[in-house]
Structures are given as C-alpha cells and as structure tokens.
Structure 1
Amino acid sequence: MIAARQKARVATVQFEARTVASFADFAARVEYFTKLASEYEADFVVFPEFFTLALLSCQPPSLDVEVDIDRLTKLTPDLAALFRRLASDQNINIIAGTHISRDGNGIPRNICHIALRDGSLHIRQKVHATPNEAAFWGIEGGGSADAIETDCGAVGVLICYDSEFPELSRHLVDQGAKLLFVPFCTDSQPGYLRVRYCSQARAIENQCHVVLSGNCGNLQGVANMDLQYGVSAIFTPCDFPFPRDGIAGEATPNVEGMTIADLSLSDLDWAREKGSVRNLADRRPDLYASWR
C-alpha cells in the first residue's frame, strides 16, 4: 500500500497573453514553465484559462468565430500530446489551463486537460459557462464534475466561474479532493476579485487548498482577449497551522512569472478533526438538503 502523501508542492503560472509565431513557439513557452516547475520539484504546475487562444495569433486573421473554434478544435490532439509528453518527461502533474474545442456533437466546450506524470490524461469541462462565453463563443457548460486521483491524492478542477458556485467545490471535496485548481481568465479587477474572494471562501468552507492561475497582459489580434487582469495565488484555510491570512503564495499583479508553495495535506486532516472550526464536520444537511 502506498503511504498517504503529507504535502504537495504546487507551482502556479501567471502567463502573459502575447502573440506567438507558431505552435512550436507556444509549446516552447509551455515547456519552459513546466521544466522550471519540475526543477523546483513541484508536484503540480497550473496554467490559466484560455491560455491556448494565443495559438490564434499565428493564423490568418478571421472575422468568423466559428472558423476560430474550428481552428482551435483541430489543435486539440496536438495540445493533448504536448501536455502528456511534458508531464512524463518532466515528472510533474500538469493542470493545463483551458482550451476551446468542439465536443463529439460539435458543441463548443471550455475544457481543461489534466496530464499526470503516470502517463494518464484527463479532461474536465467548465460546468458554468459565463454569459460572455455563451454569447461570443457559443460555449455550453459541461454535465459532470468528478475528482481526479493523483499521486498526491484526489484533486478537483474549478474553471474560473465554477469557483463562484459553492455546491460544485463541495461536490469535489466530498469525493476526497484536498486540492482545488482554478484556471481563470478575467479582464478587469472586479472580475478577478469575484474569482479570488470566492476561491478563498471555498478554501475556508471546505478546509482545503485552492490554487489560482491567471493571464496577464493583452493579446492583440485575437478577439475577446484584448485585456487581462490577474494575480495568481495559492490559498489555504484560516487556522493555526496555516498562514494567518490564508495565503500561501501570491504573484505580483499583472506580471508574468511563477509562484510556488508547499501545501500540507496532513494539516488539512488536523483542521477537519480538531481545528478551531470544523466546517465539514459541522454541516447540517438534515436541514438544507430540503432547501433546494
């Protein structure tokens, strides 16, 4: 039997949205950060939502969003192969931001590739599409949300807006997730703060760690990626074993870089059993299960 992991080192990338010359150019940037995280012996590296939209910048300009979605969909196998190769080569688990791709029925989805260092590849769809995603891209929300077993235990993925729905994170934590990853893409400070404040609330109410990864800068020539505001961060519960403010790490606002932190998984167990507050143990589902 494999002993339970006591900690996990996470690296979250604040990725600058900028034009690329080719798929190889984009892949080189992803490989740079993945290799850097691996050199720091991170267990996970996290990239932002929509970071693959940079791949549209090296294609002829299009005024048709359907053409852009088709272009992105054609790149999906190449991206999956890239993430899978890097996870294996660099011995790291990759939460590969998100990518727009049509599903088997031709419906645009906002998907996250999760490439584990054991060679497996998982895909999770954004459950809650924002009004802008639905109106501009025609994206529809996914129909399931399951935790993923890794060598650091179960983890969950909440894509940006998903972090603003408490029931989704609780669903993942109930499946054993102690780490929740939030790739996000926000163009304004109010939008970012919604994701940040809700993610901090998710860490407290679920007594888990929550890791944010966002874009910065702007992406000229690619529709709907004109401006980015982001501060990637790593959140913990607020109790004695953790940082006083519940922040294990935080990037400089709107500057490309990587933030790394060691997160204790055993301290989460302590907090859930003996903490100052015990949110998971003190729930009253006998009351609010009937409030739906």
Structure 2
Amino acid sequence: MARAFRVAAAQYPIEAVASIDAYEAKIASWIENAHSVGAALAVFPEYGIMELAAAFPAVKSDLRGSIEAIDRHIGEIDALHKTLARKHDMHILAASAPLRGEDGRFRNVARLFTPGGAVGRQEKLVMTRFEREEWGIAGGSTINVFKTRLGMIGVSICYDAEFPLIARAQTLAGAELILTPSATDTLAGYWRVRIGAQARALENQCYVVHAPTVGEAAWSPAMDDNRGAAGIYGPPDIGFPDDGVVAIGEIDRPAWVLGEVDLDRVSAVRLDGRVLNSLHWPEQVGTDAPPLIEPTAEIIDLT
C-alpha cells in the first residue's frame, strides 16, 4: 500500500461544452495532465458535471430538465472514468452528479474510481438551501469510508465538510484522507467550506483535499457563478506546515493544485503529536459525562 503519493485537486472551470464528446475529451485531457505530473489521486469538484447540460440546448437553462438529461448519460460518463483510472493507474474522484435513486428522488453522488475497476459511491448528506428549496435534491443517509491501495479515504461533499460529526464518523472508521469536492458561488461560500475543511483536518488529525468549481456560466441556473481555490490541508502539528496548508491554489484560476501527502504522518501525529485532538475528542463533554452519540461510517473495500 502506497503511504506517500501526489494528489491533484482541481480548480475546475465550468464551461459551455458543445457535446458529450467534448465533455469527455475535456475530462480525459485533465486526467492526462494530472497523470503527467505524477498524481496518484485526482479530485474533481462537486457538480462539475453540470457543465454537460450545455450540450442539451432544450434543457440547459432548466434546473430539473438539466439534471434529468445528465442522469440519462451517467453510465457513459462513469464508464469513461473507469477506463481512465485503469489506463493511468490512478484513483479518480469524479465530479459529483445529481443521480436519480430507486425512489425517484435525485441525490448528489460522488464516485471514486480505482485502477482495479472498483467504484465507491458517497451521497451528500446535508443539503444547502438552494439544493433543498429550489433544486429538489434529497440528502443521502450513509457515511462511507473507502479502503483503497492508497489508504483509507472518506468523502465529505461541500456543505457536509461544515459539519464535524460526518468527518468524525469517517475518522473512527479509519479515514486518513478526506476529499471535499465543492461548488460555491461566492467567496463567502468558498471560505465556509475551506474553514470547515481545515477544521476537520485539525480535529481529526488527517489530510483534507478541497476541490472547487471556478468560472462563470450565465446560461446555467445551477452553476452561474463559481468561486474558490483548491487546497490540501493537514493539522498544524509535527510533520505538517505550521499553518496546516500543504498546498493552495490561486483564487478562481483553472488549474490542478498539486501536493504530496504522507499517510504515515497521520499515524504519527495521532499517536504522538504536540496535541492529540483525535484521541481527546470524547473529552468535549467531560471525562465523567456520558459519551457523545455519533453517527457511524461503513467501510467499503475498493482494493
């Protein structure tokens, strides 16, 4: 199992792609670029796939129509990611997509593709006001941690990273690295997710990788404005930068942001850091108080 490797976090530009072929070519080019600089893991943002709605002029400006059109083509898009993960021997977190469940409701789903062909799915749990009040996206119900040849990986999608118990459940299930794809239309939204990501890295003494959408798409009612910078964060402790920032991008500029992660440093700092946040978590309620009631995460083997 590789314990030290390079991560590529996308500052991914939302653009009016002309066709499915154009979208697939763009994704393939981005992944080829990440592979060329030695990335073992590539992380795309939340809802990055919504730019594909531009390929369907009749529905591209219709919230419901656009997600229904993309849902019909998700099999083809996921097949591409599976092929690219195998071809480049990479793990790829695809841009999350609103997918229709068996109950007919749409949920925001991130998919983690491995070189061996396995696929892990994580639904976003907590919906933003836009998702629940205007878009009709439902929240998921299961927290997962993925066992991979890189290590134990959790996914907390955008708003989910602003709630500590989700990442805590992933940590208790063994997560060493938490991926946070996001889509925010203001700098305030970006900073909410970034502050959440850095707080989760501090609390759980782990790495958090934040990958946002960037750019303007006036034709899209869902993705019209996109602000942010990709970042890779750790706890400000032994073996990590003093500010916890392993790598950070330039606001709103499309690019891969690259950083080296070493999961042995996570093990070391949890065992013998200057502080032991992860170990001391239960003491928030006092040593004699009943234990905190926390959600649990399911471990999914993708090795």
- Under a length normalisation based on structure 1, what TM-score does the superposition of the two structures give? 0.95
Unaligned runs of 5+ in 1: none
Write the distance in 2 (CA, Å) between the matches of 1:23 and 1:215.
19
Alignment of 1:183-222 (within 5 A): 183-222=181-220
Write the distance in 1 (CA, Å) between the matches of 2:142 and 2:207.
22
Which of 126, 129, 132 does residue 131 from structure 1 map onto? 129
1:64 Cα deviation (Å)? Answer: 4.3
1:38-86 alpha-carbon deviations (Å, 9 max, x no partner): 1222110000111011111111233643322221110111111111111
Q: Which residue of 1 aligns with 2:50?
A: 53
Counterpart contact for 1:209–1:234, Cα < 8 Å = yes
Q: Which residue of 1 aligns with 2:39?
A: 42
Q: Which residue of 2 aligns with 1:33?
A: 30
Counterpart contact for 2:144–2:154, Cα < 8 Å = yes
Write the distance in 1 (CA, Å) between the matches of 2:157 and 2:187.
18
Counterpart contact for 2:50–2:67, Cα < 8 Å = no
Write the distance in 2 (CA, Å) between the matches of 1:240 and 1:280.
14
Alignment of 1:177-188 (within 5 A): 177-188=175-186
Q: Which residue of 2 aligns with 1:253?
A: 251
Match of 2:291, SS state, is: helix
Q: Which residue of 1 aligns with 2:301?
A: none
Unaligned runs of 5+ in 2: 295-303
1:283 Cα deviation (Å)? Answer: 2.7
Does 2:6 match 1:5?
A: no
Counterpart AA for 1:250: I
Alignment of 1:12-23 (within 5 A): 12-23=9-20
1:288 Cα deviation (Å)? Answer: 5.7
Match of 2:280, SS state, is: coil
Q: Which residue of 1 aligns with 2:291?
A: 289
Q: Which residue of 1 aligns with 2:230?
A: 232
Counterpart AA for 2:123: Q
Q: 1:291 to 1:20 in 2, by over 3 A?
A: closer
1:150-182 alpha-carbon deviations (Å, 9 max, x no partner): 111110000000001100001001111101000
Which of 255, 272, 275 does residue 273 from structure 2 map onto? 275
Q: Which residue of 1 aligns with 2:155?
A: 157
Write the distance in 2 (CA, Å) between the matches of 1:249 and 1:216.
17
Q: 1:288 to 1:73 in 2, by over 3 A?
A: farther
1:95 Cα deviation (Å)? Answer: 0.7
Range with greater deviation from structure 2 (204-213 or 234-243): 234-243
Q: 1:270 to 1:120 in 2, by over 3 A?
A: same
Counterpart contact for 2:231–2:257, Cα < 8 Å = yes
Counterpart contact for 2:270–2:278, Cα < 8 Å = yes
Match of 1:281, SS state, is: helix
Counterpart contact for 1:108–1:137, Cα < 8 Å = no
1:187-231 alpha-carbon deviations (Å, 9 max, x no partner): 001111100001100001100000000111111312121111111
Write the distance in 2 (CA, Å) between the matches of 1:288 and 1:137.
40
Q: CA RMSD in A?
A: 1.5
Match of 2:225, SS state, is: coil
Range with greater deviation from structure 2 (104-113 or 206-215): 104-113
Q: 1:56 to 1:169 in 2, by over 3 A?
A: same
